[in-house]
């Protein structure tokens, strides 16, 4: 138990632990939202929207702990890995905002229909569209992140970064 508690104080560990949420978690929540929209279930939509909100909002701690861990990860990697780390960090900083926008849209889709019920479906569809965009951004960010320490995934040279 002490080892687990020590790990939870390492930003590198927290970043790796949380980083699947904005990608894999959002993909699963998106499938739930598509299903709920297809079935016309408001309860299912709200459940999926809460999951979308949580996964989108989790981008903040993922980026935060990634920033805090950057120097120590830099020290652990080779030259190509350092280039992938730089690309990963740039992508995360440039593309985190769609996740924040998604969290706001999902929250609106949860609460606004309580006052205006006819807004439920359009807001859920807007959330769906934004979630697909954020998911694409997440895959793009993760693509570079996976190559930092995993040489076996480096099938192309690292991108040029400023």
Distance from C-alpha of 141 to C-alpha of 124, rounded to nearest angstrom: 25
| Reported confidence tier of residue 162, pLDDT bands at 50, 70, 90 | low
| Reported confidence tier of residue 160, pLDDT bands at 50, 70, 90 | confident
Virtual torsion, Cα 28, 32, 34, 38, nearest 10 deg: 160
CA angle, 46 as apex, 110 and 99 as ends, to 5°?
A: 65
Name the average pLDDT for the chain.
Answer: 91
| pLDDT at 18 exceeding the cut of 70 | yes
**Residue 15 pLDDT:** 87
pLDDT per position as a tens digit, 56-95: 999 999 999 988 888 787 788 888 888 888 988 999 999 9
pTM for the model stands at 0.88
CA angle, 35 as apex, 31 and 37 as ends, to 5°?
A: 115
pLDDT per position as a tens digit, 116-152: 999 999 999 999 999 999 999 999 999 888 878 777 7
Residue 39 three-state SS: helix
Domains in the chain: boundaries: 2-151
Q: Nearest to residue 79, comparing CAs of 16, 15, 142, 147?
A: 147
Q: Give the residue, 39 or 17, on which the prediction is more confident.
A: 39
In eight-state DSSP terms, residue 150 is -
């Amino acid at each position: 138990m002490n080892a687990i508690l020590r790990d939870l104080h390492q930003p590198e560990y927290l970043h790796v632990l949380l980083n699947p949420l904005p990608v894999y978690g959002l993909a699963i929540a998106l499938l739930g939202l598509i299903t709920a929209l297809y079935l016309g279930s408001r309860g299912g939509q709200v459940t999926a929207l809460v999951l979308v909100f949580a996964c989108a909002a989790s981008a903040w701690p993922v980026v935060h702990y990634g920033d805090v861990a950057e120097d120590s990860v830099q020290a652990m990697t080779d030259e190509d890995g350092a280039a992938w780390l730089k690309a990963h960090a740039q992508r995360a900083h440039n593309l985190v905002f769609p996740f924040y926008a998604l969290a706001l849209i999902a929250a609106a889709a949860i609460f606004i229909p309580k006052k205006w019920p006819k807004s439920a479906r359009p807001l859920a569809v807007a959330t769906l569209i934004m979630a697909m965009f954020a998911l694409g951004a997440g895959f793009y960010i993760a693509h570079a992140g996976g190559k930092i320490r995993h040489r076996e995934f480096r099938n192309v040279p690292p991108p040029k970064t400023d």
